[in-house]
Amino acid sequence: MSYRFRLIDTAGSEVAIVVRPSPAIAEGDLVLLPGGGTAAVVEVYDDADGSEGDVQATLVIDDEPDDLG
């Protein structure tokens, strides 16, 4: 079985819908992005609003690259 999650950035814009093999996800987990790479989950909305649109939850991701300099 697979589970759909909505990814949004920290500004609230939808990034993508992704599929994961598990319904479990928490802040700090990494998700695979459709274009490649990963992003850290910074917040999980799994209430009625966050599950709207046939997704398990809405995940706020940090899609900004880390400042390594």
Q: What is the pLDDT of residues 5-58, one digit of tens each?
A: 999 999 999 999 999 999 999 999 999 998 889 999 999 999 888 888 889 999
**pTM to 2 decimal places:** 0.86
Structure tokens at 29: 């987990």
* Dist. CA 6–CA 26, nearest whole Å: 14
Domains of the chain: 3-62 (2.40.240)
Strands (E), the chain: 3-9, 14-20, 30-32, 38-45, 57-62
Contact 59, 47 (CB under 8 A): no
